[in-house]
């Protein structure tokens, strides 16, 4: 059976370093920004993340985009 998927929702996850733990490893904290337009391109979402990185006091550790997709038969 063939199925198709379409993005239903999307969020930006912005990971920052928040100090170090007792073993000297960096502690990563996630900042989540919901309600990202599902049709926004990955390049546009990344550009927003880089703009937010300039406003953060913490060091950027990574950027993720998390999508939820509706799957239905074709």
The structure's pTM equals 0.80
Residues contacting residue 60 through CB under 8 Å, at least 6 positions apart? 14, 15, 16, 17, 53
Cα angle 12, 16, 38 (rounded to 5 degrees) comes to 5
pLDDT, one tens digit per residue, over 7-57 is 999 999 999 999 999 999 999 999 999 999 999 999 999 999 999 999 989
Q: Can you say whether the dihedral through the CA atoms of 43, 48, 54, 56 is positive or negative?
A: negative
Residue 23 — φ and ψ, nearest 5°?
-95, 5
Confidence of residue 58 (pLDDT cuts 50, 70, 90): very high
**64: Cα separation from own chain's centroid:** 3
């Amino acid at each position: 059976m063939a199925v198709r998927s379409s993005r239903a929702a999307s969020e930006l996850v912005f990971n920052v370093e928040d100090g170090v733990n007792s073993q000297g490893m960096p502690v990563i904290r996630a900042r989540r920004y919901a309600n990202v337009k599902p049709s926004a391109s990955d390049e546009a979402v990344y550009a927003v993340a880089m703009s937010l990185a300039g406003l953060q006091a913490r060091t950027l550790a990574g950027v993720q985009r998390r999508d939820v997709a509706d799957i239905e038969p074709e």
